[in-house]
Amino acid sequence: MKRQHTISATASVSGVGVHSGKPASLVVKPAGEGTGVMFVRSDITDRANEIPALATQVTTTELGTNMTNAAGVSVATVEHFLAACAGLGVDNIIAELDGPELPILDGSSKPFVELLERAGVVAQTAPKRVLRMLKSVEVKQGVKFARLSPADGFTMNVVIDFATTAIGRQAISFTMVPGAFAREVAWARTFGFAHQAEQLHAMGKGLGASMDNTVVIEGDRVLNPGGLQARDEFVRHKLLDVIGDLFLAGGPIEGLYEAEQPGHALNNQLLRAVFADESAFAWM
């Protein structure tokens, strides 16, 4: 029997929000069995400030996965942290934030993996709650699609396709087994395009983005002086986003995920489509 896990101690990390550009701090604390991942806005005291990490709480998916509770309290850019929780098997944790956005850190999940490892991942008594796919569910947006199907374990096949030769068409297949996320996925950084920076700034987005936390592409070139950590770092980061977004199911998934050019919106639509069909899944 696989058991639920939490952390054994409090730990924290600070940085800036990639979109707000403002200082952002995260404090993680142990949580009891069945809590799930619970975000808490410590700067909000006049109304409900807890936001459970569930697909049904997602309100916007532009440039990140963002959630809001019934009191209108929100938390933004949660996917990199949730991917770390999924990759390390952390089921129950309190994630306190002093503002509306998680710190971007280096643009990957690696600092969050290190945070959780520093806090110490420990087993609890209750059995782990796993969402098992019983039949295929698919959502489409033009040539883009995402699908969850029955399978043993949790395997993801992700394909991306960009016109720039800096990226091109890339594919990856990954199976979630202990240690694999930190080794193969967590370090892959988010990426963006230099020509979009002015437009994003005008929208109040990307104000904290820099080459310290984003792989920047101009035309067919990667501008970062250090270049890429791997030729396929781009698709590995898309896979990282998928892992974080799908953890909003409310627990790990047993099934096969396949996608062509996935994004946060498509991933959330897929989870909502799964939950809309009670014959498609079972909690085990």
Q: Is 253 left (phi over 0), alpha (psi -120 to 50) or beta?
A: beta
Question: In sequence order, what DSSP letters do the residues of 16-85 get, joined into one string?
Answer: E-TTT-SEEEEEEEE--TT--EEEEETT--SS--EEE--GGGEEE-TTS-EEE-TTS-EEB--HHHHHHH
Continuous H helices in 120-189 = 180-184
Mean pLDDT for the chain overall: 96
Query: Starting from the edge strand earliest in sequence, which strands make up the sheet with 221-222, in order?
Result: 191-193, 215-218, 221-222
Distances (CA, A) of 81 to 28, 110, 182, 245: 11, 9, 13, 10
Burial status of residue 1 (CB atoms within 10 A of its CB: 0-12, 13-18, 19 or more): exposed
Q: What is the reported pLDDT for 14?
A: 98
Q: What's the average model confidence in pLDDT over 259-270?
A: 97
Angle at the Cα of 149 (from 77 to 56), degrees rounded to 5?
Answer: 35
* Per-residue pLDDT tens digits for 61-99: 988 999 999 999 999 999 999 999 999 999 999 999 999
Distances (CA, A) of 188 to 64, 167, 194: 16, 14, 19
What does the alpha-carbon distance between residue 42 and residue 13 come to, in Å, rounded to a whole number? 15
Pairing of strands 215-218, 221-222: antiparallel
Q: Does domain 3-127 have CATH number 3.20.20.80?
A: no
* Per-residue pLDDT tens digits for 107-125: 999 999 999 999 999 999 9
> Do 131-283 and 3-127 fall under one CATH topology?
no
What does the alpha-carbon distance between residue 15 and residue 22 come to, in Å, rounded to a whole number? 8
Q: b vs e for 33-56, b when ≥16 Cβ sit within 10 Å of the residue's Cβ?
A: beebbbbbbeebeeeebebebbbe
Cβ proximity of 219 and 167 under 8 Å: no
* Per-residue pLDDT tens digits for 152-171: 999 999 999 999 999 999 99
Q: Catalogue the active-site residues.
A: 264
- Residues forming beta bridges with residue 282, ordered by sequence position: 132
Cβ proximity of 4 and 251 under 8 Å: no
What confidence category does residue 200 fall into, taking pLDDT thresholds of 50, 70 and 90?
A: confident
Tokens found for residue 17 = 């929000």
Distances (CA, A) of 160 to 143, 146, 163, 165, 170: 11, 12, 10, 12, 5
Q: What percent of the chain has pLDDT over 90?
A: 94
Q: Which uninterrupted H or E stretch holds 164?
A: none
The set of residues, in sequence order, having a beta carbon less than 8 Å from that of 21 and lying 6+ positions away, is: 207, 208
Q: What is the reported pLDDT for 163?
A: 95
Looking up tokens 């035309």 gives 219
Q: Where are the domains of the chain?
A: 3-127, 131-283
pLDDT at 197 over 90: no
By C-alpha distance, which of 282, 278, 279, 253 is closest to 267?
A: 253
Architecture of domain 131-283 in CATH?
2-Layer Sandwich (3.30)
